[in-house]
């Protein structure tokens, strides 16, 4: 299921014309192969197993690599199976008006997207990440992007995503459960 959601998320993101490239950082070989198969650049996650903040450490590591060729970075979670290309394009367009911005998840507690334009990301993912990003100075973007806001962490989240309409890979995975 996780791999299917990643495929659908990457497929939607790949359709956004303003994204020059897509990079996936992961410790998982199957996820790396799927991402590479969809044309994404892949970075092996260098985060030590005992790292107390592995997601933010991985994002910061990816930022160091990606920032060598790009001053604008968009961090997108890989569990957005209902994401629509137009939603992400609109959110990125809105984000360009701010140096750092984010889109909260549908519950308002997590973060689906973090954007940095000409500045460092300073990721604050994890519990209550939307509040943490807001406190760090990132501007919250409030567009009507239900698929972008619908990350899947729980069965209830998957139900919400399915009501919006998930991508084909996730639909196949759900049908085979």
176 pLDDT band, cuts 50/70/90, is confident
pLDDT at 136 over 80: yes
pLDDT at 154 over 80: yes
Mean pLDDT on 50-70: 92
Q: Which two tokens stand for residue 62?
A: 């990816």
68 pLDDT band, cuts 50/70/90, is confident
Reduced to 3 states (helix: H, G, I; strand: E, B; else coil), residue 7 is: helix
CA distance 73 to 138: 14
User: How many domains does the structure of the chain reveal?
Assistant: 1
Q: For the segment 110-130, what is each residue's pLDDT rounded down to a tens digit?
A: 999 999 999 999 999 999 999
pLDDT at site 70: 75
Give the CATH number for residue 35: 3.90.550.10
- Structural contact between residues 169 and 8, judged by C-beta atoms closer than 8 angstroms: yes
CA distance 118 to 101: 12
**Where in the sequence is the domain holding 61, given as residue range(s)?**
2-175
Q: Which two tokens stand for residue 163?
A: 């009501």
* Region of 144 on the Ramachandran plot (φ > 0 left; ψ -120 to 50 alpha; else beta): beta
pLDDT at 177 over 80: no
């Amino acid at each position: 299921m996780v791999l299917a959601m990643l495929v659908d998320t990457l497929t939607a993101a790949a359709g956004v014309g303003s994204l020059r490239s897509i990079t996936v950082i992961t410790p998982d070989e199957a996820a790396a192969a799927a991402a590479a198969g969809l044309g994404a650049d892949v970075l092996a996650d260098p985060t030590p197993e005992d790292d107390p903040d592995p997601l933010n450490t991985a994002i910061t590591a990816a930022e160091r690599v990606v920032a060598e060729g790009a001053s604008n970075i968009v961090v997108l979670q890989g569990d957005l199976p209902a994401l629509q290309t137009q939603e992400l394009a609109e959110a990125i367009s809105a984000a360009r008006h701010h140096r750092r911005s984010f889109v909260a998840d549908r519950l308002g507690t997590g973060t689906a997207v973090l954007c940095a334009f000409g500045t460092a990301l300073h990721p604050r993912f994890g519990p209550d990440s939307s509040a943490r990003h807001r406190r760090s100075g990132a501007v919250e973007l409030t567009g009507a992007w239900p698929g972008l806001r619908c990350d899947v962490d729980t069965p209830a989240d998957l139900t919400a995503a399915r009501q919006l309409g998930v991508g084909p890979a996730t639909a196949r995975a759900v049908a085979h459960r």
